[in-house]
Structure 1
Amino acid sequence: MTSALPEYHVSGSGDTTIFMLHGAYGDGRYFANTERVLADAGFRVLVWNCPGYGEEATPSDFSIDLAGDAAAALIAAEGTGTNIVLGHSMGALIAPNAAMKSEGRVHGIILSGASVGFQNRTPEDQARFLRERISPITDGGMTVAEYAPGLLKTMMAPGASGDLVDLVGKVVTEMKTETFMASMKALTSYNNMPATQAINVPTLLLSGEFDTACPPAGMEKLAEIIPDSEYHMIRDAGHYAFAEQPDVFHRLVIEFLNRRFGR
């Protein structure tokens, strides 16, 4: 890894690499189980920390475009014969952007807990989104660690529990508040429609039935926009389906990869 690239690590081996991009809350550590399952299934898995996450300082000019540039550079440096980008939440905004900049190196996309983008939400939904995520910091003087645990419960299915759910909470509460604020500024100012409309590779869309952050209705709209896409709503899951219903999530991902890429 060169100093120009973001933090990342690789598990597994093979000619199909899955690049995993986390959301605004947390970092790549919450993918640990998914990383292990996909590597055991015969895939090479690369998990990054988006610029500003992990041990990196938060870039003063952080944006979705900057993150897309970093992801595209990572794909160019670490890509194999077949490259799949799996983006969750904010990562689902970065994934199409990176694919658009990757000059044909991306062969498939998986979007988990995605949305139509902040600018394409209704005014009421925009206000709710900001009130839940930004106001506790700007108005309440709280850190992410102080208010996020309560919010995460509302983003998951009723009764969601277990070690993987606990891991999501742990990783989120350990993140830097300034990094989260930079991510919020980036995603609320980004129009994802041009990159979404440019997707021309097989795409899997996975939503959670109880996802309040990125509701299933928004992902249904994405399925209408992306020509070669398939959409699945995962029952009894919210925003973190890979942790709430891991068996279903992983089955859908592996079936998609095997069916569309000859595995």
Structure 2
Amino acid sequence: MNADTPPDIPRPYSEVRRRLPGTALINVRPGLSLETMHVPGPSPALVLVHGGLGNLWNFYPQLDRFAGHRELVAYSLAGNGRSEDRAQHSLSGHVRDLAELLAALDVARPVVVGWSYGTAVALEYAKNHPVSGLVLTAGGAFGLTPVWELPLLKLVTALRLYRVLPGGAALRSLAKRTMLHPDSPDSLAADMVRSNPLPRRASAWRTVTDAFWGYDGRDGLDAITCPTLVAHGSADRVVPREAARRTAELLPRGEFHELDRSGHVTVAEQPEAFGALVDSVVNRV
């Protein structure tokens, strides 16, 4: 894609929401139900794992693109979206949640797609469970947490500032400056805020600080032998490009792809290009 190529704009979130089936709370064990969208289709299933402070609608462009063409599972991590909270948040706990959710849905050997902090869940799941393929984007096996993030999140949680954090124009402006490529349209920033408003639950903020802070999953990557694609935005200001590229190098069948005209939100800034990369992994399977 060259500099003259116009940005790829997904279908508006509100329209995608109307076109797709609703979500359901799937009980994975006593005391924990996860907000889930399960769309039937051909296998292998695509399992979509969102990032920190997110929910299953982070993947609305991919839900729109693949619904009816591929079995889909998208869910909100425990404590996020409408999912119930866990007593404690740990990465191993969230991996267990995913394993139990897929068992409840009778989904075997999926292609797992992780975005941002969701790449940590995807990688750790693949180390210990059979998968057909992996797609990691805006993340990797390390380097996911900016140095300023932990003190900021702890301050928000300690003072319960999540109850009064801004939305609307202020949040759209923040998303545009920190998460998106400079050429991404304002309409995309608006849809980001609509699909993923800042959570008003302390549990969503604790998920990041307790489960994902300082993640380093480089040990054991040699056990992941499925086809793996690591896609990274050319203008990602959250996760360093080198962390994604090095992750691909450490994976036995890893490939690195850079997505032009994209920041941290590759799944929405370049939905067709990203979807084509997912298709390439499915086709190899």
Q: TM-score, normalised by structure 1?
A: 0.84
User: How far 1:173 sits from its partner (Å)?
Assistant: 1.8
Quick one: structure 1 residues 19 and 256, their matched pair in 2 at CA, closer, same or farther if it must change by over 3 Å? same
Structure number having the greater helix percentage: 1
Structure 1 residues 82 and 69, CA gap change in structure 2 (3 angstroms): closer
Identity among equivalent positions (%) equals 22
Alignment check: 8 A CA contact 2:227 2:253 kept: yes
Match of 1:109 among 124, 134, 141: 134
Deviates more, 1:228-237 or 1:25-34: 25-34
Is the 1:58–1:178 contact (alpha carbons within 8 Å) kept by the matching residues of 2? no
Among 50, 53, 61, the alignment partner of 1:33 is 61
* Residues 1:243 and 2:268 are matched in the alignment: yes
2:51 match: 23
Structure 2: distance between partners of 1:92 and 1:238: 16
Structure 1 position 72 matched with structure 2 position 109 = no
CA-CA distance at 1:149 after TM superposition: 4.3
Q: Secondary structure at the match of 2:192?
A: helix
Residue 160 (1) aligns with residue 184 (2): yes
Deviation string for 1:116-156 (max 9, x for gaps)?
Answer: 425xx7xxx7423446x527626986438427545422121
Partner of 2:233: 208
Q: CA deviation at 1:3?
A: 4.7
Contact 2:28–2:97 (Cα < 8 Å) also in 1: no
Aligned to 2:121: 94
Q: 1:162 to 1:150 in 2, by over 3 A?
A: closer
Displacement of 1:253: 1.5
The yes-or-no answer on 1:182 pairing with 2:206 is: yes
Q: Where do residues 113-262 of structure 1 align in structure 2 (5 Å cutoff)?
A: 113-118=138-143, 126-130=146-150, 133-134=152-153, 137=156, 142-143=161-162, 145-146=165-166, 149-153=172-176, 154-161=178-185, 163-185=187-209, 186-258=211-283, 260-261=284-285
Shift of 1:170: 2.1
Corresponding residue for residue 20 of structure 2: none
Q: Aligned to 1:16, what secondary structure does the other structure show?
A: coil
Tell me how far apart the structure 2 counterparts of residues 110 and 99 of structure 1 sit (CA, whole Å).
11
- 1:43 paired to 2:77: no
Separation (CA, whole Å) in 2 of partners of 1:79 and 1:206 = 28
Report the AA paired with residue 232 of structure 1: H
Give the secondary structure class of the aligned counterpart of 1:66.
Answer: helix
Q: Which moved more, 1:179-188 or 1:135-144?
A: 135-144
Pair 1:163–1:126, CA change in 2 (3 A): closer
State the secondary structure of the residue aligned to 2:134. Answer: strand
Distance 1:75 1:139 in 2: 34
